[in-house]
Structure 1
Amino acid sequence: MTSAPAFPDISISTERLVLRAYEEADVASLVEMMDDELITAWTGVPHPYTESDARDFVARAAPAERTEGRGLVLAVTEFLTQRLVGTVTLQRTDWRIRATEIGYLTAVWARGEGYACEAVLGVCRWLFEQQGFARVELRTAADNTASQQVAQKIGCVSEGVLRGAGLVRSQADGGHWAETRTDLLVWSLLPEDLDEQSGRRSGGDAYDTYTAYTAYADWH
């Protein structure tokens, strides 16, 4: 019986970052990172985000995305300090056409430093160069301009709008968070898009640098 395809247990290094699987030692930092109004607004994570939520995510939910073939969850950490910067996820992976959807979030203290661009580009290069993928898709809420700027900066092409296809949250009276429906903007990145972008650059940006890959054994 042939096993289902799955991404390897991987570590990706860029100029300033290391992307790797979440570990138990990340639980406290994960709780701190997720206790943020923008993350609550733009994602479907539990609110408030508790230590129990973090432990379940690290021990069960995140590893299952990889082992069950759906995608990959990577903790984004600073190379020098090893501090948790954010998360990059791959989901809805179609192994037949070698396409996947990427998502990202950044801790409040790390925003504005280009970390999201650097992390997402590192993962996309790994997908195209090492995994033979042909397409990466992003979906951003219509009002999430910060996420859209990341898509634009890394060279994604805007493909259109999925009307009413997403849910976001906002604080209602009394401080309660309520879900509302939103349009989703669809972006894509193909291998040739990165080639064209690299050709236009002279000198490079902070997030347009080397990418190194290390495959771990499954027990790591």
Structure 2
Amino acid sequence: MTSTFPDISLSTERLVLRPYDEADIPELVEMMNDDLVTAWTGVPWPYTEAAARAFVSTAGPAERRSGRGLVLAVTEMLTQRLVGTVQLQNTDWRIRGTEIGYLTASWARGEGYAGESVLAVVRWLFASQGFERVELRTAADNTASQQVAQKIGCISEGVLRNAGVIRSRPDDDPHGRWAETRTDLLVWSLLPEDLDDADGTGEFAGRTGGDGYDPGYDSAYAAYRGHADYSAAAHRR
């Protein structure tokens, strides 16, 4: 039985999902220095070129080789511009289950890219990799990310109380120091039959276009924690 994901690329009508390479570093730095990404994820701040290079060359590929997950850059098919990231993490090969995370660059928000890319990965997992469960976790106050989960058909399973950490600036001061606070995490899931039912009824029709439900800081909560542990586990402390 395989215990690592293949080195793959996926495509949708508008997007190409592929491994990161060095040419992505400038756009990656720009994407990760957005305030909403800093607030909802565990990325280093400020996010430097050195951090991006370490992620692209070492931390990201190590996720796949170790069997823990898979990191894919999401790019526009026509322009090849980086629009976001989709990440698999905390993979359990015995039960064929994994956790998915996602975020979108600030300039690409509102185009439905998060839902489109996540559904592409989930369908690939179920159809080609024999997976039986995909889990997603969102911070309790991250309503925009919750809307993405709902829009793609995720089932709400419950709340992990006080299980995550988010960041904010006191009094919303744009120049203030980021401070960490604890938060509940909402748990969502998708099973193969969830997509089978939706595809059979046309429920997902139109969900990957400009539906207004792609806020760009969508995340299964905790990607990029210092590139040492690229997973939500880094926040469960």
The aligned amino acid for 2:112 is G
1:176: Cα distance to partner? 0.3
Do structure 1's residue 193 and structure 2's residue 191 form an aligned pair? no
Alignment of 1:1-220 (within 5 A): 5-172=3-170, 175-201=176-202, 204-205=205-206, 207=208
Change (3 A) 1:178 1:202: closer
- Among all aligned residue pairs of Structure 1 and Structure 2, give the percentage whose two residues are the same amino acid: 74
TM-score scaled by structure 1?
0.91
What is the CA-CA distance between 1:202 and the residue it aligns to?
Answer: 7.0
Give 1:191's aligned amino acid: P
Task: Kindly provide the CA deviation profile for residues 110-148 of structure 1, in whole angstroms up to 9, marking residues without a partner as x.
Answer: 111000000000000000000000000000000001110
SS in 2 for 1:10: coil
**CA 1:34–1:202 in 2, change beyond 3 Å: closer, same or farther?**
closer
Q: Which runs of no fewer than 5 residues in structure 1 stay unpaired?
A: 209-220
CA distance in 2, matches of 1:200, 1:177: 45
Which secondary structure does the structure 1 equivalent of 2:145 belong to? helix
Scaled by the length of structure 2, the TM-score of the pair is 0.84
Q: Residues 202 and 157 (structure 1 numbering): CA distance in 2 closer, same or farther, change over 3 Å?
A: closer
Q: Which amino acid aligns with 1:179?
A: E
Q: Are residues 171 and 198 of structure 1, via their aligned partners in 2, closer, same or farther at CA, if it must alter by over 3 Å? A: same
Structure 1 counterpart of 2:107, one-letter code: W
Displacement of 1:198 in angstroms is 1.4
Distance 1:42 1:49 in 2: 14
Which residue of 2 is the match for residue 216 of structure 1?
Answer: none
Displacement of 1:197: 1.2
Cα distance in 1 for residues equivalent to 2:206 and 2:22: 33
AA paired with 1:15? E
Distance 1:203 1:99, change over 3 A: closer
| Aligned-partner residue type, residue 140 of structure 2 | A
Large movers: runs of 4+ above 4 Å:
none
Distance in 2 (alpha carbons) for counterparts of 1:191 and 1:5: 20
Give the paired residue count: 206
Cα distance, 1:201 vs. partner? 1.5
Structure 2 gap segments, 5+ residues each: 210-237
Contact 1:165/1:182 (8 A) holds in 2? yes
Equivalents in 2 of 1:195, 1:41: separation in Å? 35
SS of the residue corresponding to residue 208 of structure 2 reads coil
Query: Taking structure 1 as reference, are residues 152 and 206 closer, same or farther at Cα in structure 2, changes over 3 Å only?
Result: closer
**Separation of aligned partners in 1, 2:130 and 2:137:** 22
In the alignment, residue 194 of structure 2 is paired with which amino acid? D
How far 1:199 moved relative to its partner? 2.0
- SS of 1:93's partner is strand
User: Could you tell me which residue of structure 1 aligns to residue 229 of structure 2?
Assistant: none
**Secondary structure of 1:122's partner?**
helix
Question: Hey, what's the Cα distance between the residues in 1 that align with 2:207 and 2:78?
Answer: 15
Asked if structure 1 preserves the Cα contact closer than 8 Å seen for 2:134 and 2:191, the reply is yes
CA distance in 2, matches of 1:203, 1:31: 33
Q: Deviations over 1:131-186 (max 9, x none)?
A: 00000000000000111011001100000000000000001266100000000000
